[in-house]
Amino acid sequence: MDNKLMLMIPGPTPVPEKVLLAMAQHPIGHRSGDFSKIMAAVTAGLKWLFQTQNDVLILAASGTGAVEAGIINFLSPGDRVLVGNNGKFGERWAKVCAAYGMQVEQITAEWGKALDPEAFRDRLEADTQKQIKAVIVTHSETSTGVLNDLETINRYVKAHEKALIIVDSVTSLGAANVPVDQWGLDVVASGSQKGFMLPPGLGFVAVSPKAWEAYATATCPRFYLDLGKYRKDAAKNTTPFTPPVNMFFGLQVAMEMMQAEGLENIFNRHRRHTEATRAAMKAIGLPLFAPDTNASPAITSVAPVGVDAEQIRSVMKKRYDIALAGGQDHLKGQIFRVGHLGFVCDRDILSAVSALEATLQELGFEHTAPGAGVAAAARVLATA
Amino acid sequence: MDNKLMLMIPGPTPVPEKVLLAMAQHPIGHRSGDFSKIMAAVTAGLKWLFQTQNDVLILAASGTGAVEAGIINFLSPGDRVLVGNNGKFGERWAKVCAAYGMQVEQITAEWGKALDPEAFRDRLEADTQKQIKAVIVTHSETSTGVLNDLETINRYVKAHEKALIIVDSVTSLGAANVPVDQWGLDVVASGSQKGFMLPPGLGFVAVSPKAWEAYATATCPRFYLDLGKYRKDAAKNTTPFTPPVNMFFGLQVAMEMMQAEGLENIFNRHRRHTEATRAAMKAIGLPLFAPDTNASPAITSVAPVGVDAEQIRSVMKKRYDIALAGGQDHLKGQIFRVGHLGFVCDRDILSAVSALEATLQELGFEHTAPGAGVAAAARVLATA
């Protein structure tokens, strides 16, 4: 039905009407006191959300631009980096490092499995010469719905003492607990169209004092993505290049809404939605692609057997006006992904699960107990 | 007065309500047929506006990101480049080239004066070894309101045969005639918050076949700004990284509005507004900073004598709710800049001029004939 789309993909995610209307205001000049006030407010909001006193810088860029900035500002060509790769995004950061001439060593896991923290420990402990300059980890691997054990991996990075920990937190910030200061995460990057309840267009990078020390000697060439420029101007509540002011209007409202809800409630909501979605898939008999122990609070990937993933997506879209994500690269046609990230309420989960059960019925999928998925989800939502 | 601001700065520029409301729609998935249709439509619109059959690629970035992409994708560290520098933006592109290790040679002019095309000819003709890989020119120098003679400079670049012509067209596209194919411009970059009648957040880069040949061997590192990735995906009406879908909604409406107005009418409107603004300043007795022969159709810079530029801006903002731009760097306090770029109608010019005359009155500026500025502007608007 025209204009009735419900987004359940891992980004863009649904945006509150209040945020959309804030973005529809006439732009203001970015070199004005009015803009600086907004910049101060949203920066304070972001620091709250990132749980940090570090700088949190705002770029006009997608999440990839933000993560690239988080890598190239603190490293030099030839530097040895250890990259965790268990999906499309881990793979992407290895490519970014290679594009800048770094020596890339990867710790891999099959797509759908979590990175093994012990593999990081082994490699870091073996590096007695302290040649590894950074460890790059994708926290929530959007392509598979796996949440890597960042806390444990980071502990091993801290034990190494020298290496920076650089985190792709694109789909974990605002969904999972990422206590930047408590864990001592050096660089944490994310994007607006994820847990931030905004359309795409802004990238965020939190930078620790230790990372700024590395910045001083890092030689990867950069200009638009040069975070030192953003830091210098952020101190005056301004930006080095024209910021997307309308996105800032939206960000201010979104930060207010998130602060009103509270961090614990936000994380709890994502946890409940993840558990409800997973319980529903189990009750329906659709295999989950990521293990329970490492389930992303942002995305649930499902690898259906006996029914085609793309057909499910097609019926969900055409009949029920729900957009699900497909598999990427070699997973295309193998999985579908349900986003439950950002501005998602309990009703949305029931809508998605009930539409999925109806879709399976239409596709003739042998479903032992129709309605069992909705019932399982409802049980979690009512009690979790 | 709250919420009553009128933007007359060179970006962000005013945005039509239709565009703002289009941007306030719920996002859609960017890997969808619906998004691809929008991408196809806006790409066709941009090609029309750039007057080109070349690729026109769309980035989530400010104008600086787009120009940087237009430089680093076609050049390598060590390459010799000739950069025109007669203002803050020309200076910036020299810095970008230096950041990537290029050998930068500059042709300069005092801020407020135009670049001398003959200086380019001399340098290019002397380069018999064809070592100059690119000439980088800022068409409309936003910091001063000077329109450089791109057509003539480009003719000398064409005579060189080897060098690429890379154009910062950030405040000239959609205001001045920039016939990309007719002139054979290799790389032309711009930004959404300028002549495109949109908020900031999108950058555009048009790339010629000759530039793509250079791309094949260019070695500046890049990933997010790698235009080859955008080109490959644009062929399938998609993008390599999540695009700001709401900005695309707005871009589609803006392109429709511009196409309905027509290129000639758009350029003519900007020319009339420029002439009216300049006639008003002359009648008031405020010295223009850029010469008539090289007046930007986007920005008029004024260097007041006997009255403080920042005081003028302050009263214009506080009493009349009109935002003017100040001078940048060493011109701060020396000039103010009136933007008449993008979604600006005749009434806006009269509003700005009449408010300026009232402001001067309030500031005690000796004005021989109050009202003469408005009368002069009106005369141009009625007859030009």
Q: Does domain A17-260 have CATH number 3.40.640.10?
A: yes
- pLDDT digits 0-9 by tens, A241-269: 999 999 999 999 999 999 999 999 999 99
Binned at pLDDT 50, 70 and 90, residue A366 comes out as confident
From residue A61, alpha-carbon distances to A48, A166, A168, A226, B206 in Å are: 21, 18, 14, 13, 19
Matching fold, domains B18-260 and B263-383 = no
Superfamily per CATH, domain A263-383: Aspartate Aminotransferase, domain 1 (3.90.1150.10)
Residues of B in contact with A325 (CB under 8 A): 29, 31
Binned at pLDDT 50, 70 and 90, residue A384 comes out as confident
Binned at pLDDT 50, 70 and 90, residue B370 comes out as confident
- pLDDT digits 0-9 by tens, A171-219: 999 999 999 999 999 999 999 999 999 999 999 999 999 999 999 999 9
Binned at pLDDT 50, 70 and 90, residue B31 comes out as very high
- ipTM exceeding cut-off 0.95 for this assembly: yes
- pLDDT digits 0-9 by tens, A65-75: 999 999 999 99
A108: which strand partners? A85
A207: which strand partners? A55, A187
Nearest one of B371, B352, B355, B374 to B363, comparing CA atoms: B355
Q: How far is A15 from chain B (nearest CA, A)?
A: 7
Q: Which two tokens stand for residue B348?
A: 């806006």
- pLDDT digits 0-9 by tens, B117-155: 999 999 999 999 999 999 999 999 999 999 999 999 999
Whether A246 sits inside 8 A of B64 (CB atoms) is no
Binned at pLDDT 50, 70 and 90, residue A222 comes out as very high
Give the best residue of B224, B245, B248, B322 to mutate against chain A (max A CB count within 10 A): B224
Q: Read off the pLDDT of each residue in B76-90 and give the average, rounded to a whole number.
A: 98
CB proximity list for B262: less than 8 A, separation 6 or greater: none
Binned at pLDDT 50, 70 and 90, residue B190 comes out as very high
Residues of B in contact with A99 (CB under 8 A): 221-223, 226
* pLDDT, position B221: 98
Q: How far is B66 from chain A (nearest CA, A)?
A: 9
Q: What one-character-per-residue DSSP string does B168-209 give?
A: E-TTTBTTB---HHHHT-SEEEEETTSTTSS-S-EEEEEE-H
Of B14, B61, B199, the CB nearest to A246: B199
Q: How far is B117 from chain A (nearest CA, A)?
A: 28
- pLDDT digits 0-9 by tens, B166-186: 999 999 999 999 999 999 999
Whether A65 sits inside 8 A of B241 (CB atoms) is yes
How many DSSP H helices and E strands does chain B contain? 14, 13
Please name the fold of domain B18-260: Aspartate Aminotransferase; domain 2 (3.40.640)
Binned at pLDDT 50, 70 and 90, residue A370 comes out as confident
Q: Which two tokens stand for residue B175?
A: 């205001």
Ordered by start, the domain boundaries in chain A are 17-260, 263-383
Strands B322-326 and B336-339: what pairing? Answer: antiparallel
